[in-house]
């Protein structure tokens, strides 16, 4: 039996929150490329919930990229997103399929949205941000967004936070990497390595390279 049960609960909660947000018209995020550089003090807590919201209610055109490497292989979601269309591909190992959605066609719109794994990391990022797993390292313009840059590291935190991560990721579990956050709190880019340890001692690792790039 696996000892790390909380991430699954958090992920399910995250998925529920995404669809609840969708049903209520989204988060009404209005940030676009070219906004003034954010202040580290003023920047809201980093969140991934914006990925679902901006895909469904794009404030401006952008390219969405979500790459994941784990024990099952390499998966790459790529799409150009506008207020009315989602066009891209999903490549899993050697298999590639098209992603296409039009707002005027509800079935295709929902299908294109559902192709992306938005809920898979939302809970983890909330957990990391809430437990001192992210540290501001400066301001940087990234993917044509003004951002605050963070170091992500669950291995150098307080004893209290370490206990939380141990419970959720396992004894030898960790998350390390870098994230760039705009002035709404949206993590417009993150590159992380994550490891979770099961009850039998097995360490499951994955690498994520995810981001959105403003299109002019």
3-state class (DSSP) for residue 88? strand
pLDDT in tens, 28-60: 333 334 444 444 455 678 999 999 999 999 999
Are 85 and 109 in contact, with CB atoms under 8 Å apart?
no
In terms of Cβ atoms closer than 10 Å to its own Cβ (0-12, 13-18, 19+), residue 95 is: exposed
Give the chain's mean pLDDT. Answer: 83
Are 59 and 35 in contact, with CB atoms under 8 Å apart?
no
Place of tokens 């506008």: 82
Least confident interval from 17-26, 115-124, 185-194: 17-26
DSSP H helices in the chain? 6-23, 49-56, 106-114, 118-130, 159-169
- The predicted model scores a pTM of 0.78
pLDDT in tens, 89-131: 999 988 999 999 999 999 999 999 999 998 878 887 888 988 8
């Amino acid at each position: 039996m696996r000892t790390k049960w909380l991430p699954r609960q958090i992920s399910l909660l995250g998925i529920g929150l995404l669809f609840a947000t969708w049903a209520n018209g989204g988060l009404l995020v209005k940030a676009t490329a070219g906004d003034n550089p954010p202040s580290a003090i003023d920047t809201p807590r980093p969140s991934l919930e914006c990925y679902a919201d901006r895909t469904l209610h794009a404030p401006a055109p952008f390219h969405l990229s979500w790459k994941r490497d784990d024990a099952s292989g390499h998966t790459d979601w790529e799409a150009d997103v506008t207020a009315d269309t989602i066009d891209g591909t999903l490549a899993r190992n050697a298999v590639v399929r098209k992603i296409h959605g039009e707002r005027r066609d509800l079935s295709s719109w929902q299908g294109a949205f559902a192709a992306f794994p938005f809920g898979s990391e939302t809970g983890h990022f909330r957990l990391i941000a809430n437990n001192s797993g992210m540290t501001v390292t400066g301001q940087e313009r990234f993917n044509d967004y003004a951002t605050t840059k963070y170091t992500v590291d669950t291995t150098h935190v307080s004893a209290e936070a370490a206990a939380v991560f141990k419970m959720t990721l396992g004894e030898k579990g960790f998350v390390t990497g870098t994230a760039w956050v705009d002035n709404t709190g949206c993590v417009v880019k993150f590159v992380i390595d994550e490891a979770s340890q099961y009850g039998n001692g097995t360490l499951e690792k994955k690498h994520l390279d995810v981001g959105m790039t403003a299109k002019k």
